[in-house]
């Protein structure tokens, strides 16, 4: 099997929620490796200041911003089109946008449930739905889903979050099966972190007890993307000891 390869510095990556926290760390790692990176979420000012800082650190204009709401199908489709029209391809899609609404099972509301499921699961589905045919036609692509330890274990305070993150893993399995059956050169990785400290992010700042330093998420991303195309790696569980 001779699967197409592409160096990271020729790739275009889309990181949803790339202006803050884990997504920002992903965007920085990709920009440092020379990729062009589109960071996308709702808050344009957060995106702008992250892009300015990451570009200053990389010493080049590699990080670009795009305001969108992942809960809206048309906005997901427009974002994927934007990446391809503006930068020529979409090689790495990182489904990182996400949130939790803490409501126990006895407190669940229509609004809380819908917000979480639409943001964490349905939005990722629309992005994959739009990006996968383009990746397949291009003969190259990677999809990285940020699930959670809560995608594998249940927590009483966030049942909707658990359902969304388990759902993301189930959706990814179906996409993998589709890729296997169609022979597309597209890999699907799930990252399942426990607690990640997105407040103490300076390289030398110790993470809070029980939390992983966010730089480990960036290292993990670089690692999974570096694997040979023939290698299948599915989920990574990462948490503090
Ligand atoms: N930190 C942890 O301990 C941890 C552990 C396991 C998994 N995770 C997962 O990691 C991912 C990143 O979380 P984080 O910890 O880095 O928190 P964060 O800084 O709050 O990041 C979440 C991002 O999602 C974006 N977002 C939220 N709603 C959106 C919407 N409707 N449309 C587009 N973007 C939206 C936010 O940007 P805007 O507000 O600008 O839209 C924000 O940049 C999430 O999926 C989270 O579930 C985090």
Domain regions of the chain by residue span: 8-238
Ligand 1 pocket: which of 98, 144, 211, 218 to mutate (most atoms <8 Å of CB)?
98
Q: pLDDT tens for residues 124-146?
A: 999 999 999 999 999 999 999 99
User: In this structure, which topology does domain 8-238 adopt according to CATH?
Assistant: Rossmann fold (3.40.50)
- Dist. CA 93 → ligand 1 center (Å): 15
Q: What pLDDT does residue 237 have?
A: 98
Residue spans of the chain under pLDDT 50: none
Q: Of residues 155, 161, 223, 239, which has the active-site annotation?
A: 161
Tell whether ligand 1 has an atom less than 6 A from the beta carbon of residue 96: yes
Handedness of CA 184, 2, 223, 14 (dihedral sign): negative
Which of 14, 21, 169 for mutating ligand 1's site (highest number of atoms within 8 Å of CB)? Answer: 21
Query: Which residues, in sequence order, are bridge partners of residue 186?
Result: 141
CA distance 190 to 42: 23
pLDDT score, position 2: 85
- Whether this prediction's pTM lies above 0.85 is answered by yes
Is the distance from the beta carbon of residue 169 to the nearest atom of ligand 1 less than 6 Å?
no
Which atom of ligand 1 is the closest one to the Cα of 195? 3
The answer for residues whose C-beta is within 8 angstroms of residue 226's C-beta and 6 or more apart is none
């Amino acid at each position: 099997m001779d699967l197409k390869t592409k160096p990271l510095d020729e790739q275009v990556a889309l990181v949803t929620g790339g202006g803050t926290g884990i997504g920002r760390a992903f965007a920085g790692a990709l920009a440092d490796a020379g990729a062009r990176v589109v960071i996308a979420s709702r808050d344009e000012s957060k995106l702008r200041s992250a892009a300015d800082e990451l570009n200053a650190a990389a010493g080049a204009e590699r990080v670009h911003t795009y305001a969108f709401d992942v809960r809206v199908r048309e906005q997901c489709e427009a974002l994927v089109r934007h990446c391809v029209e503006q930068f020529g391809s979409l090689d790495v899609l990182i489904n990182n946008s996400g949130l939790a609404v803490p409501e126990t099972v006895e407190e669940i509301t229509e609004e809380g449930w819908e917000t979480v499921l639409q943001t964490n699961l349905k939005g990722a589905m629309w992005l994959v739905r739009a990006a996968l045919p383009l990746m397949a036609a291009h003969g190259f692509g990677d999809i990285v889903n940020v699930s959670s330890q809560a995608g594998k274990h249940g927590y009483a305070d966030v049942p909707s979050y658990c359902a969304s993150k388990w759902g993301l893993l189930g959706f990814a399995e179906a996409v993998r099966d589709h890729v296997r059956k169609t022979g597309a050169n597209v890999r699907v990785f799930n990252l399942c972190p426990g607690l990640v400290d997105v407040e103490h992010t300076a390289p030398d700042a110790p993470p809070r007890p029980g939390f992983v330093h966010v730089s480990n998420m960036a290292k993990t991303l670089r690692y999974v993307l570096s694997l040979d195309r023939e290698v299948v790696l599915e989920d990574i569980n990462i948490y503090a000891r």
